[in-house]
Amino acid sequence: MKTGKSKYVIVFIFFISFYFNSFAQLSVSFSTLNGYNSNPFNVPNGEGSYINSFNLGLEYYYQKYGIGYYNNYTLFQSLTERNYYWHQLGGWYNTENTLWGIYAEQRINKNDYNYFDYTYFNTYLNYKGRLNSVYYLFNSSISYTNYTELSELNNLLVTFGLKASRSFETKTTLIGGIIFNNKHYSNSDILTLNTRGRRMGGFYQSSATSLSQINIYGRISQSILPTLGIAAQYTYKDILSGTGKDLSTLNLAYNDESQIFDDPVSNEGSSFNFQITQVLPYEMKLQGNYFYNVKNYPAQGIYLDEENFDETILRKDTQEILNFGLSKSFDLSWTQVSRFTLMLQYNKILNESNSYWYDYSNDSVTLNLKLDF
């Protein structure tokens, strides 16, 4: 895999910075995720694979400043050509009410899938405050994504959000918020390939150069017992202008690859989430989530079968997600490890679509082990 020498230079600089001040604080975390996914790339009749993921995080604090370096290597036992490396370097300044930061990240794939390679830059500013009994959070960010092989998709994303919450003596909490996204593509060219089909690497896209989207959400949570809580959330997404570029058929996708083939900023609709949390004996936590998502894609046509594409009919999806997680943390402060966390998780996705390549189901079971030093 072509990782290049640049990341080693970044790591060296990062470690040298640790020694600039003896009064600073260093924290290290290491985690692994191991499990099986019946359809990791979310395609009809997909092939399952055991997946192993290794993560290392380093954070260095000095007064109100901090820097962090994080990396990940993911392996697919049955699909080794899809293995990839990801890393991120960032810094931040934190006060009682304000958090400002900047970071850059990079993903590096094997040669056959290097069109998923990208470099991403982000700067953000968050401000939290209180107005009488209402707590609020204002967040904003500006990011730029550069794709090594797909310059047509290079884009600038500006986001603003406002969230407010209030708690009551009945142990009820109300949360509401609004998020505004504006995405501008650097290149307005229409890119067309001769072949079509999500697994074949072809795609169809619109010529729109920008789009604006608004998200409005409301959440209510209630403590039923000292060890039991429930929550429900409704989210509405609407595209205000533009339709964006459609890369709906760009091969298989996993995790953040969905930003390419199934960009969340390019769809609209509504989502409902119900969550239940139970604290068990020995400080274990069991949490369950159910999501029901309706998504409309104003820039995507549909696949009638594996190859035949109809751009006169727009894609519509109905998605259900069910997951359960059981976690337990151990305090090991008397050793070199300050905390050890175990999490067992089950996740099921059922996506019904009028487009052939997006009608799929997915089941996964994972075990996550994390060490904090």
pLDDT of residue 326: 97
- Please name the residues in contact with 78: beta carbons below 8 A apart, sequence gap of 6 or more: 47, 48, 49, 50
Q: Which of 110, 102, 95, 100 is nearest to 149 (CA)?
A: 110
Report, as an integer, the average pLDDT of 212-225. Answer: 95
What is the CATH number that goes with domain 6-372? 2.40.160.50
**pTM summary value:** 0.82
pLDDT of residue 197: 36
How do the residues of the chain divide into helix, strand and coil, expressed in percent and rounded to 5?
Answer: 10, 60, 30
pLDDT of residue 267: 85
pLDDT tens profile 62-121: 999 999 999 999 999 988 999 999 999 999 999 999 999 999 999 999 988 888 899 999
For residues 283 and 250, give the distance between their C-alpha atoms in angstroms, rounded to a whole number: 44
pLDDT of residue 5: 45
For residues 114 and 82, give the distance between their C-alpha atoms in angstroms, rounded to a whole number: 10
How would you write 107-126 as a 3-class SS string? Answer: EEECHHHHHHCEEEEEEEEE
pLDDT of residue 43: 87
Report, as an integer, the average pLDDT of 271-276. Answer: 97
- Please name the residues in contact with 156: beta carbons below 8 A apart, sequence gap of 6 or more: 142, 143, 144, 183, 184, 186
For residues 175 and 330, give the distance between their C-alpha atoms in angstroms, rounded to a whole number: 31
Residue 312 neighbours by CB distance under 10 Å:
6
Match 């820039």 to its residue by tokens: 299
Q: Return the higher-pLDDT residue of 17 and 274.
A: 274
Where b means 16+ CB within 10 Å and e means fewer, 10-49 reads beeeeeeeeeeeeebeeeebebebebebebbbbbbebebb
Number of residues assigned to the chain: 373
pLDDT tens profile 19-58: 444 445 889 999 999 999 999 988 898 889 999 999 999 9
